Amino acid sequence: MSIGKNSKPRINSAAEMIFMTISWLLGVFVFAILIGNVKDIIAQSTRTKDEYMAKFESIKQYMIGMHVPQETMDRVKTWCKYTWDNQKTFDERTILQHLPEKLMTDVAVDIHFDTITNVKLFQGCNPGLVKDLVVRLKSILYLPGDYVCKKGDVGKEMFIISSGAVQVVGGENDEKVFVTLNKGSCFGEIALLGTGNMNRRTASIKARGFTTLYVLFKKDLEEVLESYPEDKQLLELKAARAKQEAMAKQNVNKTETSTNQMKEELFSPTEDPKLLSAVLEVLKKKNQ
């Protein structure tokens, strides 16, 4: 018996035999530990993916049973594949659910604090308010061409672009792109405090490519504001100012629309123009 390139121990030397035997057993033991750890790592990685795929399979079987159109099923499949490739879970918040609340808050603040403080609506507010809001942000992935919101919808949330981009669209079949918003931009914040027509979306917005948005819901903001009455008054003032600006803009648009309509009525030809009829009548009488 020998180990590696070492020479065989002498049979008549008990010390060498014992040393070589212990070394051989120790080597086998260490090798078994290493193999066992690698096996556990591989098993853990496979188990996580198996659990994810089992959930996806349940969703797939449900859609088949409910006769969901194939186009929708393909979009769900695309969403699940992209989500697994990027975050290995359906909901990224579940990754941190085992942490103490304090540590979970610290991680969320490190990730989102700078982003939400750039939102004009929350500038000048208590840092504690912003910190409480950060914890309530929810990540949502939109597929290419998905509508984030449509014009006229009731707004119950605001959006912050984490990755990707969105387009403000309009015109016939929403084919015209007015502006593109990229990472770090936010929209829909006024709807959080709006009432009446102020909580209606004024434009349709679609995702350009795979886009991840952080969403803050109105109910979450209202719960947090109960602890910050001064900030609540500040936000209400900002909402009132925004409402006045929106109404002024609407009045300007209405005036421009009315002016354009008058121009069309005056200068656009009709089937029986009154001015032309009068001229023809005068010429007819003159010829007589």
CA distances from residue 249 to 170, 192, 253 in whole angstroms, order as listed: 18, 20, 6
Distance, CA of 50 to CA of 154 (rounded, Å) = 39
Distance, CA of 231 to CA of 189 (rounded, Å) = 15
Give per-residue pLDDT as tens, 226-271.
999 898 888 888 877 776 776 676 566 556 655 666 555 545 554 4
How confident is the model at residue 138, as a pLDDT?
87
Distance, CA of 148 to CA of 169 (rounded, Å) = 11
Tell me the two tokens of residue 174: 């929403």
Q: How far is CA 8 from the centre of its chain?
A: 67
Distance, CA of 100 to CA of 244 (rounded, Å) = 44
Longest dimension (CA), the chain: 149
Give per-residue pLDDT as tens, 66-93.
999 999 999 999 988 888 887 777 776 6
Is the pTM value of this prediction over 0.75? no
Q: Residues 181, 168: contact at Cβ < 8 Å?
A: yes
| Buried-exposed string 4-32: b where 16+ CB fall within 10 A, e elsewhere | eeeeebeeeeeeeeeebeeeeeeeeeeee
Give per-residue pLDDT as tens, 221-235.
889 989 998 988 888
How confident is the model at residue 266, as a pLDDT?
47
Q: Residues 150, 211: contact at Cβ < 8 Å?
A: no
How confident is the model at residue 142, as a pLDDT?
93
Q: Residues 181, 143: contact at Cβ < 8 Å?
A: no
How confident is the model at residue 263, as a pLDDT?
54
CA geometry: angle 127, 128, 131, nearest 5 deg: 85
How confident is the model at residue 205, as a pLDDT?
93
User: E strands, the chain, where?
Assistant: 138-142, 147-149, 157-170, 176-181, 186-187, 204-217
Name the DSSP class of 154: B
What would you report as the CA-atom Rg of the chain, rounded to the nearest whole angstrom?
A: 34
**Which residues lie below 8 Å from residue 208, measured CB to CB, with a gap of 6+?**
144, 164, 165, 166, 167, 180
Give the residues of the chain that fall short of pLDDT 50.
266, 270-271
Half-sphere CA count of 61, side-chain side, radius 13 A: 6
